[in-house]
Structure 1
Amino acid sequence: MKAAVVTVGDEILIGQIVDTNSAFIAKSLDKIGIGVIEMLSISDDREHILETLTSLQNRVDLVIMTGGLGPTKDDITKKTLCEYFNDELVVDEAVLEHVTELIEKVMKRPASQMNKDQALVPSRGTVLFNRVGTAPGIWMENQNTVFVSLPGVPYEMKYLMDNEVILRLISKFKRPFIVHKTILTYGQGESLIAERIEEWEDNLPEFIKLAYLPSPGRVRLRLTARGIDEDFLRKSILEEAEKLKAIIDDIIVGYDEDETLEVVLAKLLTEKKFTISAAESCTGGRIAQMLTTQPGSSAYFKGSAVAYATEAKVNMLKIDQQLIDIFSVVSAKVAEAMASQAKKIFGTDYAVATTGNAGPTKGDSDAEVGTVFIGIATPKGVYSEKFDFGQPREKVIERAANKALEIIYQEILKN
């Protein structure tokens, strides 16, 4: 099956908001064997919406639209759907009762006519009841294509996808299976990994495809299998993943889409009952942010000192000014001192520290832009490593934070 996802709204086209709906919808469809072949963002314009519907008709099996279902005059999706399907809007009594109750009993104000107009739906459409908002979803069919229109508010869209759309799609269509396995690697770039696994990749079965998903400091390798026998697909993908592990086990830190290094590190720290802290300069709190995204992180992460300026390193972390004068603020000695002080201040088993020149210009050091020192304090001692992360600034910060977590992960594995 082929699907297209369409977001309606000028606020997306001008960059006022980020479209997260399309990613959620695509992921939800992929789980039930429906592949998204196209994503579009279009304006709140009648002609543009009509042109889009016409172009997708019979070219895909499913079109899911989000946005334009609100109560204001600029929300024209329902009216345009009626025009496209030669239909008319009628009041759905169940929706009207729900909207009125939500406005008057929950929001404690009279329901206006604009609010009540949310209950207007195309007469030939199937209403997808929205229990968490006022705008219902709409399911309509024409020839070989199903058109689904959903609210643009993310939590309302997600509710309708999970409780209405996916169930109807499973019931209506016979779908192939799509099985994924994602291998998370750290420490080597995409091209080097490709060289190492070239022979294995060349011998993959035709029904299994490999995709490289690189980002600074990490590369995800996604295996995708498509077919009609789910058990066979899962068995085959696991076999190929084991073959891959034998080749690059030294850089694999986790599996599956959501098993990031932060997740793997959190599991490791929890399992071993170790604690960690940080002292950050050039990463500006990024390491702390990554560590605290995991639920229950307070059990192992005790805190971070963002000592960005030199005086903060001296006054807050008590780094010896003479040490900075001799070796420079961007140096192995300062990185190690920062890590040691963080470990001492927060009373943790491990600590990680970063100091460097992220750019675009040099700060309090003569070190080249892109130079970063990462210090690691362990129960057995302290050491540091030097890196050149290049440019631009955002890349330096992200790579430094990722590399810091990678080093601490490998260090804890030794124990």
Structure 2
Amino acid sequence: MKAYILTIGDEILIGQVTDTNATYMAAALSAEGYQVVEHLSVADSREGITYGLDRAMQSADLVLITGGLGPTKDDITKKVLADYFDTELVFHQESFDRLTKVYQRFGREPDASHRVQCELPAAAEILTNKRGTAPGMWLEENGRIVVSMPGVPYEMRYLVKHEVLPRLRERFAADDKTRSLTILTAGAGESTIAEQIASVEDSLPEHMSLAYLPNLGTVRLRLTIRGDDEDKMQAEIREYRDKIEQIIGDLVFGYGEEDIAGAVGRRLLERKQTLVTAESCTGGTMASMLTGNAGSSAYFLGGAVTYSNALKNALLGVQLSTIEEFGAVSEQTVREMAEGARKNLRADYAIAASGIAGPDGGTEEKPVGTIWLAVAGPDGTQTKLLRAGKDRKRNITFTALQGLNTLRRILDGLPID
């Protein structure tokens, strides 16, 4: 079955928001074996939506739409759908009752605009949205299916997972199954990894593929296989995963959707150990990455953002004489930051970072992008010098990722360089 993704919203076209909905829907459909033939974003206008529907209906058997289902006047998707499928809008009492209950929980009552929101195409099968107030709609014509869902990402994801995919599985069998395994790496760039595992990539059978998905400080390797025998597919994808890891195993920190902070946390949990951070140039970014993972309180105690020399001294015990002699951005200072954080904040490990994030503040001796990291732990303190670029935000994120990956390598018993 061929599938088409249509996202509606002026905010997407002007770059105000990133269209994460299309990415999620494409991945969900591909995993089920459906072929996504195109993705189109159109404006919140009758002309734009109609054009998108025409193009989608000519190209695919299944069309997934997001956006334009709210209570405001610019949410016109359902009106256009009703006209397109030659049906009328009718008031859907069940949807309004659900909406009323949601508002009453917050001590409010729905208004006239919310009643309008519950006027839906008569020909549509209504999909219950348990994550929001706008329901989804399933329409069919000449063997083609059009599903319209809210643009709010967590509402759309709920509908895809609990309403759309179960209906598709009941009615249609995908031509082939598609399964993917994502190998997460840190510490080397895309070209370096590609060169190292070229022999494995060249040996992949025709029904398998390898994609490189680089990001700042990390590279995801996605192995994808297509077939009809689930057990055989899983065995084969594990076989090639193992071949890749035999070559670059020290770069691998996890699988799937895990991030480097979650990978560090998982290792600390397994060891029943704790972590703190002492951040200067990263301004709390490492702590934010760590607390972004549910359950992080079990291993992450907290951190100190010691941007000034006075706070480095007062909170971490860094000697002012050390800063005066070697500078705030130095191996000696960052070592004392990590060791002081580990001692004063009473953790098994401490990561410290101090550097010149830019775009100003560099010198000939220490240009912008000069960054020192230190990790203090039960077996001592290790330091690392980074040479980054001149983009401030990029340097901050890069440093935080490098700090976490440095600890990950120490926990895995690997050298940090």
Same fold (TM over 0.5): yes
Distance 1:309 1:47, change over 3 A: same
* TM-score, with structure 2 as normaliser: 0.92
- Report if aligned partners of 2:375, 2:381 keep a CA contact under 8 Å in 1: yes
Distance 1:111 1:341 in 2: 56
Distance 2:134 2:252 in 1: 45
Partner residue in 2 for 1:177: 177
Question: 1:152 deviation in Å?
Answer: 2.2
Superposition map of 1:12-411 within 5 A: 12-99=12-99, 102=102, 105-106=104-105, 111-175=110-174, 176-255=176-255, 257-362=256-361, 367-411=366-410
Distance 1:296 1:115, change over 3 A: closer
Identity of aligned residues (%): 43
Partner AA of 2:340 in structure 1: Q
Distance 1:365 1:350, change over 3 A: farther
- Report if aligned partners of 1:263, 1:294 keep a CA contact under 8 Å in 2: yes
Distance 1:379 1:44 in 2: 58
Distance 1:297 1:96 in 2: 39
Question: 1:380 deviation in Å?
Answer: 2.7
Question: 1:409 deviation in Å?
Answer: 1.5
Secondary structure at the residue paired with 1:185?
Answer: strand
1:213-268 C-alpha deviation (Å, 9 max, x unpaired): 1112211111011122222211111111111111112212222x223322222121
- Report if aligned partners of 1:125, 1:138 keep a CA contact under 8 Å in 2: yes
Distance 1:295 1:119, change over 3 A: closer
Partner AA of 1:412 in structure 2: L
Question: 1:360 deviation in Å?
Answer: 0.8
Question: 1:275 deviation in Å?
Answer: 1.5
Mark the runs of 5 or more structure 2 residues left unpaired by the alignment: none
Mark the runs of 5 or more structure 1 residues left unpaired by the alignment: none
Question: RMSD between aligned alpha carbons?
Answer: 2.2
1:352-383 C-alpha deviation (Å, 9 max, x unpaired): 11111111111699511111111121223223
Secondary structure at the residue paired with 1:12?
Answer: helix
Distance 2:113 2:121 in 1: 17
Distance 2:377 2:308 in 1: 25
- Report if aligned partners of 2:71, 2:113 keep a CA contact under 8 Å in 1: yes
- Report if aligned partners of 1:58, 1:144 keep a CA contact under 8 Å in 2: no
State the aligned residue count: 413
Distance 2:109 2:271 in 1: 57
Distance 1:293 1:91 in 2: 41
- Report if aligned partners of 1:58, 1:145 keep a CA contact under 8 Å in 2: no
Secondary structure at the residue paired with 2:250?
Answer: coil
Question: 1:101 deviation in Å?
Answer: 5.3
Secondary structure at the residue paired with 1:403?
Answer: helix
